[in-house]
């Protein structure tokens, strides 16, 4: 049956969706959430149906198309298309099987991941898959299958190099911007480090958000290969490429539900590493109140699982368990973290020493893993590279090749509006709540406002005098700043 296209000028951000007039839907016996096949000339796709209740939205014999469908079919407003009813994908039955507590086969997991990647499943169906894996925990065999499927149904950055290095932090700790420093040290030592990073979901900044203050992070694979060929490393946003794309959709539905499925966390991280052809990976698991992993028992279990998956995908994995009980570094928020990175690489006295120590330790371990240093000597070599200025030079080469923006830390200014939080009495900082600190920074505007965030003047264990500044909150929006003050006041700061 033929329908005239109406461009809805709306994007779903993933699933392919169309809208039919309710009378047309009734005539065709189509219901909300059904799938229809749409054909234009030799091009074909399957979409999920919404139903409009009147001709104000969609006229009879018209089909409202969202941007994803228009792009897929390469068509525009008023084009004529053919539609026919389609059945639900088999993967929906496999999701139901997992919901009922059964183990999925390699084939069934492959089909689910394929359909997620090709946007054949609705967000509701993907959410059911996430919930099923959260409630009926995946076995290690299923987790390995999920990892491999995520890699299979996506692009792979193939590099004719050995070793290829990557690192990852499980997360939950504000700041902790070790990646740019570690990557710079490793690349200066002659290693290949194709580092793809994420944007923030719940923290004041992700590595990609912070790097975007200093350089372009949205690069296609061919450009990344050129950057790697010239500098040996890159620091880019993984979402700009088609690496393990099913993972991006899974993360999107996990976030509103605050679901943290271990199997999907493991598969997500390891699939992204395999997608850049990594041979050696260091995984950092910070533990502490407010971190993603709060105790050592959970961390040790996760450590074993990372190593097990690494063995199955041909990757040497080393896992370290670190202190995640407070923010790392002084700046929290893209611009404030960018300043910390630049000060540290330039060996400026303003650089946060906790961030330096953590970065050098990680880089040293990787140098030993990759055979660039004798066991026990990696940290010294990493420190020498940092202190010599070689890491800073490599970082500048990298950001220049990617499209340099701001690299002078003194010219990276935080938001125009700010307030200070001062100590009510003298003493020592006893503890800090990662979640509360992140919430204040995000309400102030980070990471969307790259110059919003928090600058920490004190850390746990530091002596404090009455009325001394504990931290400063910045924003470019007065209303957001005032709201962050209300949020701050709801927390206990003694």
- Using the predicted structure, report yes or no on whether residue 202 has a pLDDT greater than 90: no
The domain locations on the chain are 2-86, 90-136, 165-409, 413-490
What's the average model confidence in pLDDT over 379-401?
98
Is the domain spanning 165-409 CATH 3.30.1360.150? The answer is no
Judge whether 90-136 and 165-409 match in fold: no
Mean of the pLDDT values across residues 333-344? 98
| pLDDT confidence of residue 198 | 85
3-class DSSP string for 307-365: HHHHHHCCCEEEEEEEECCCCECCEECHHHHHHHHHHHHCCCCCCCHHHHHHHHHHHHH
Q: What is the pLDDT of residue 493?
A: 57
State the pLDDT confidence band at 250, using cuts at 50, 70 and 90.
Answer: confident
What Rg do the C-alpha atoms of the chain give, in angstroms? 25
| Residue 274 reports pLDDT greater than 60 | yes
pLDDT, residue 122, reads 85
191 touches 163 (CB < 8 A): yes
Q: In the CATH scheme, what is the code of domain 2-86?
A: 2.40.40.20
* pLDDT tens by residue, 39-74: 999 999 999 999 999 889 999 999 999 999 999 999
Residue 290 has pLDDT above 80, yes or no: no
* Confidence label for 200 from pLDDT (cuts 50, 70 and 90): confident
Q: Does the pLDDT at position 191 exceed 70? A: yes
Domain 413-490 belongs to what topology? Aldehyde Oxidoreductase; domain 3 (3.90.1170)
**For 434-447, what is the mean pLDDT?**
95
Following CA atoms 369, 373, 377, 380 in sequence, which dihedral angle do they give, to the nearest 10 degrees? Answer: -110
Mean pLDDT, to the nearest integer, of 256-282? Answer: 88
Burial class (CB within 10 angstroms; exposed 0-12, middle 13-18, buried 19+) of 148: buried
Which residues lie across from 166 on neighbouring strands? 281
Joined together, the tokens standing for residue 59 give 């006229």
Average pLDDT, the chain: 94
Mean pLDDT of 136-148: 95
Task: Name the 3-class secondary structure at 422.
Answer: strand
Confidence of residue 243 (pLDDT cuts 50, 70, 90): confident
Percent of the chain's residues with pLDDT above 90? 84
Q: Is 162 helix (H, G, I), strand (E, B) or coil?
A: coil
pLDDT at 215 over 90: yes
As its CATH architecture, domain 90-136 has Up-down Bundle (1.20)
For residues 231-259, average pLDDT: 84
Tens of pLDDT, residue by residue over 86-127, are 888 999 999 999 999 999 999 999 999 999 998 888 888 999
Active site residues: 260
């Amino acid at each position: 049956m033929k329908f005239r296209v109406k461009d809805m000028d709306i994007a779903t951000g993933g699933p392919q969706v169309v809208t039919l007039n309710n009378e047309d839907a009734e005539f065709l016996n189509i219901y909300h959430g059904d799938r229809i096949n749409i054909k234009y000339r030799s091009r074909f796709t399957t979409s999920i149906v919404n139903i409009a209740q009147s001709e104000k939205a969609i006229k009879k014999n018209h089909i409202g198309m969202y941007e994803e469908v228009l792009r897929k079919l390469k068509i525009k407003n008023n084009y004529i298309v053919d539609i026919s009813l389609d059945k639900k994908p088999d993967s929906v039955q496999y999701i139901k099987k997992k919901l009922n507590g059964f183990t999925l086969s390699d084939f069934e997991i492959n089909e689910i991941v394929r359909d997620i990647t090709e946007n054949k499943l609705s967000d509701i169906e993907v959410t059911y898959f996430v919930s099923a894996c959260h409630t009926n925990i995946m076995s290690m065999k299923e987790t390995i299958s999920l990892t491999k499927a995520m890699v299979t149904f996506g692009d792979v950055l193939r590099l004719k190099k050995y070793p290829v290095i990557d690192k990852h932090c499980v997360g939950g700790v504000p700041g902790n911007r070790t990646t740019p420093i570690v990557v710079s040290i490793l690349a200066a030592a002659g290693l290949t480090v194709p580092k793809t990073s994420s944007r923030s979901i719940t923290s004041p900044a992700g590595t990609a958000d912070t790097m975007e203050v200093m350089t372009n992070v949205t690069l296609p694979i061919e450009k990344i290969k050129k950057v790697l060929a010239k500098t040996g490393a890159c620091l880019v946003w993984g979402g700009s490429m088609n690496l393990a794309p099913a993972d991006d959709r899974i993360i999107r539905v996990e976030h509103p539900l605050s679901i943290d499925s271990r199997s999907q966390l493991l598969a997500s991280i390891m699939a992204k590493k395999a997608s850049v052809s990594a041979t050696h990976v260091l995984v950092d698991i910070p533990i502490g109140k407010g971190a993603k992993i709060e105790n050592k028992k959970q961390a040790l279990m996760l450590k074993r699982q990372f190593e097990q998956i690494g063995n199955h995908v041909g990757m040497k994995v080393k896992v370290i368990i670190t202190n995640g009980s407070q923010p790392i570094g002084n700046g929290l928020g893209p611009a404030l973290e960018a300043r910390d990175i630049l000060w540290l690489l330039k060996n400026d006295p303003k650089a946060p020493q906790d961030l330096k120590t953590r970065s050098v330790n990680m880089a040293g371990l990787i140098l030993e893993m990759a055979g660039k240093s004798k066991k026990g000597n990696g940290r010294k070599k990493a420190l020498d590279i940092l202190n010599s200025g070689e890491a800073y030079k490599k970082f500048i080469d990298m950001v220049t090749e990617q499209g340099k923006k701001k690299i002078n830390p003194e010219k990276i200014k935080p938001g125009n509006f700010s307030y200070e939080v001062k100590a009510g009495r003298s003493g020592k900082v006893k503890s800090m709540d990662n979640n509360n600190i992140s919430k204040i920074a995000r309400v102030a505007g980070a990471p969307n406002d790259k110059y919003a965030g928090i600058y920490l003047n004190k850390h746990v264990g530091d002596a404090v005098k009455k009325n001394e500044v504990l931290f400063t909150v910045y924003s470019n929006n007065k209303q957001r700043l005032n709201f962050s003050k209300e949020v701050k006041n709801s927390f206990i700061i003694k």
